[in-house]
Structure formats: structure tokens, C-alpha cells
Structure 1
Amino acid sequence: MSETHATSAPVFPPGRYGRRRAAGRRRPVLAALLAVAAVAVSGLVAFRLYQQYGHPDYDAEVITYTGITDSRIRIDFRVTVPAGGAAVCTVRARARDGGVVGLAEVPVAAAPGARKVATRYELATTARPFIGEVLRCRAA
């Protein structure tokens, strides 16, 4: 019978199980750097998307889209702007299959003191539209 001591490390035959790794602190540092890089990239993506699609002072909602023909659609929408401000809204029309068949930038001006502006725009299309949308509004 052989004795084993709880305090000694196991002894393996040399070359049998490959090279053993040395204890090191590389992994935690690498993981921390990757985490910092992921947070930075996420922040940049969020900032870019906010610039492109979101601005709390400019909000639009489609009231209705009517007058659909093979080459036109009439879009009625309401825009919230800062008091007396102006905006530029991007409107688009899509076909039943989801393809974009019309796109335009529409200037919207509010009366002095008004925050909500109702606007009607007739959008020319390249094919029969299925839906009219307001993608976003931004400062003019």
C-alpha cells in the first residue's frame, strides 16, 4: 500500500500529458480588455442610432394613408416640434412585398407657438404602394 500526502502535488510522467500551463494573470486582463472594448463599441453604436433615428423634440405619427394608386399615395401625418420650430421628415411608401417604392424628404414648419403640426404629402411611387410611413423627423 502506498501513502499519499494531501499537501503534495500529483507527479505525472514527463511528456505523457503535454506541456502544463504556468499559472498566470493573463486571462483576467484579457477578459477585462474585451469587456471594455465591447462596452465602447456598444456605446458608439447606440450613439449613432440615436443620431440617426431618435430625437425627443421631433416626433411623428401617421394619421392615415389614402389615395393609393399605381403611382401615388397620400400620407397624412402629425409632427411634434419645439415651439415654433421647423422639421424635415422622411416619408416612404412600401409595396406589399416590403420593397421601397417611394421616398421623400418633407419640410414641415410650425406656426409660432404651435408644437403639433398636421401635414399632408402626396408621394410619387414607382409601383403600387401598400403602406405609407414616416421614418423620422429631424431639425430643419
Structure 2
Amino acid sequence: MTAGNETHATTKYPPGRYGRRREPQPRRRILTVVLAGAVAAAGLAVAWQLYVQYGPQDYEPQVQRFYNVTDDGITVDFVVRKAADQRATCSVRARSASGQEVGLAQVEVPPGAEAYVTYRLATSDRPVTVEVPACGPLNK
């Protein structure tokens, strides 16, 4: 093929039919950049807030096992990961088969980076599960 047979994609539209083609105005470009920056900053602020709220915690409780389940109590072994020099208190909660809370206690956790605790929780009905939903600093 020779250069004379090539088709160019620059089609001319009939004048006045589609209006005048305009280049984006600098003011609109600036507005777009400013809005994009504001949206990005807002997104980062939300991400930071969620990280602070749900990210790594100072106290991380984890139930290892529960056993000795009776109509009036349950024994739970759990570990709390925290700063080695800190004492803590944890909420221990038991639930029945219907999901209702049947036992709740605040348990002191000794110092240590990984503090292992065994606790017998008294309950008002037969529990089917136990959880340690939260731990925090020991307030004395």
C-alpha cells in the first residue's frame, strides 16, 4: 500500500449540525482536581478512623477452650495478649442455646505479655458457649 491510499480518521462533521466543539476550560480542570483531592482526603480520613477503631488492639483476648459445662456454671481457659507490665480486666460472658446471656463476670488478668487465665463462671441456666468480648486496663 502506498501513502496515497490510506484513510484518515479525521472526519469532518457538517458545520452547525453538532454545535461547536469546545476545549475543557482551565477552571473546570482545577475544580475537578480540587474535588478529586477532597474525595481522596475524605477517604483517607475514614480509613484512618476505621483503622484506629478496629485495628490492632492493646488487649487481645482469645478463648482457648471451655469445659465442665453444668446447669449452673462453665469453666473457660483464655489468653490475653497485651503489654507485659500491664494488668487488665476482661468481661467473660456465657450464653444459653437460645442465645440469651446466662452469666457475666469481670475477671482480673495478671501482668505478662501473654496472660493465661482459667475461670469458673457461674450461670443462671445451662450455657452452650462462652466468650471474652472485651478487655481493658485494670482500674484500681
Shared fold per TM-score greater than 0.5: yes
Looking at structure 2, the residues matched to 106 and 9 of structure 1 have their Cα atoms a distance apart, in angstroms, of 83
The Cα offsets for residues 23-77 of structure 1, whole Å up to 9 and x where unpaired, read as 4222332122112101101211211224xx712xx44332321222344222122
Whichever residue aligns with residue 119 of structure 1, its letter is V
1:15-94 mapped onto 2 (5 Å cutoff):
23=25, 24-25=28-29, 26-50=31-55, 54-55=57-58, 58-94=59-95
TM-score (normalised: structure 2) = 0.62
Looking at structure 2, the residues matched to 44 and 93 of structure 1 have their Cα atoms a distance apart, in angstroms, of 31
Q: Unaligned 5+ residue runs, structure 2?
A: 1-9
Q: Which residue of 1 aligns with 2:6?
A: none
Whichever residue aligns with residue 87 of structure 2, its letter is A
The Cα offsets for residues 85-129 of structure 1, whole Å up to 9 and x where unpaired, read as 31112222233455544333211124xxx5443322222345432
TM-score (normalised: structure 1) = 0.62
RMSD: 3.5
Give the C-alpha shift of residue 11 in structure 1: 3.0
Structure 1 residue 95 corresponds to structure 2 residue 96: yes
Looking at structure 1, the residues matched to 90 and 14 of structure 2 have their Cα atoms a distance apart, in angstroms, of 71
Percent identity of the aligned residues? Answer: 33
* Equivalent pairs, count: 124
- Pair 1:36–1:136, CA change in 2 (3 A): same
Q: Which residue of 1 aligns with 2:5?
A: none
Structure 1 residue 139 corresponds to structure 2 residue 140: no
